[in-house]
Homo-oligomer: A and B are copies of this chain.
Amino acid sequence: MSERLVIIGGDAAGMSAASQARRLKGPRELEIVAFERGNFTSFSACGIPYWVAGDVDERDALIARTPQEHQQRHIDLRMRTEVLEIDPRERRVRARDLASGAEEWTSYDKLVIATGARPLRPDLPGIDAPGVHGVQTLDDGQALLDTLGDTEGRRAVVVGAGYIGVEMAEALLRRGYEVTVVNRSAEPMATLDPDMGRLVHEAMTGMGITMVNDAEVTAVRTGDDGRARAVATEDDEFPADVVVLGMGVRPETELARAAGLPLGDHGGLLTDLSMRVRGPVADGAIWAGGDCVEVLDLVWGRERHIALGTHANKHGQVIGANVGGGYATFPGVVGTAVSKVCDLEIARTGLREKDARSAGLQYEAVTIESTSRAGYFPGAASMAVKMLAERRTGRLLGTQIVGREGAGKRVDVAAVALTARMTVEQMTALDLGYAPPFSPVWDPVLVAARKAVAAVRAGSAA
Contacts and interface: CB of A to CB of B under 8 A. Distances in A.
B46 A435 contact: yes
Interface residues of A, number: 63
A64 to B, nearest CB: 8
A433 B399 CA distance: 12
Nearest to A308: B434
A313 interface: yes
A376 B338 contact: no
Interface stretch (A90-98, A243-251, A405-413): A405-413
A340 B437 contact: yes
Interface string A421-435: 010001011111111
A116 to B, nearest CB: 15
A432 B410 contact: no
Interface string A274-288: 000000000000000
Interface in A119-160: none
Contact of A435 (B331, B338, B410, B443): B338
A178 to B, nearest CB: 24
A61 B430 contact: no
A351 interface: no
Nearest to A163: B435
Contacts of A56: 376-378
Contacts of A429: 314, 329-331
Given A416-B413, A417-B416, A374 B435 contact: no
Contact of A416 (B50, B374, B420): B420
Contacts of A413: 412-413, 416
Interface in A357-375: 374
Nearest to A413: B412
A439 B44 CA distance: 13
Given A12-B441, A309-B434, A44 B374 contact: yes
A47 interface: yes
A438 B12 contact: no
A50 B431 contact: no
A331 B427 CA distance: 11
Nearest to A338: B433
Nearest to A49: B436
A213 interface: no
Contact of A376 (B62, B308, B336): B62
A333 interface: yes
A107 interface: no
Nearest to A63: B376
Interface in A295-323: 308-311, 313-314
B432 A412 contact: yes
8 contacts: A44-B436, A47-B374, A337-B433, A337-B435, A349-B433, A409-B409, A415-B430, A416-B416
3 A-B pairs with the lowest CB-CB distances in the bound complex, closest first? A338-B433, A420-B420, A310-B434
Given A310-B442, A336-B432, 11 more contacts: A12-B441, A44-B374, A47-B374, A47-B436, A310-B434, A313-B441, A337-B434, A338-B438, A408-B438, A412-B432, A420-B420
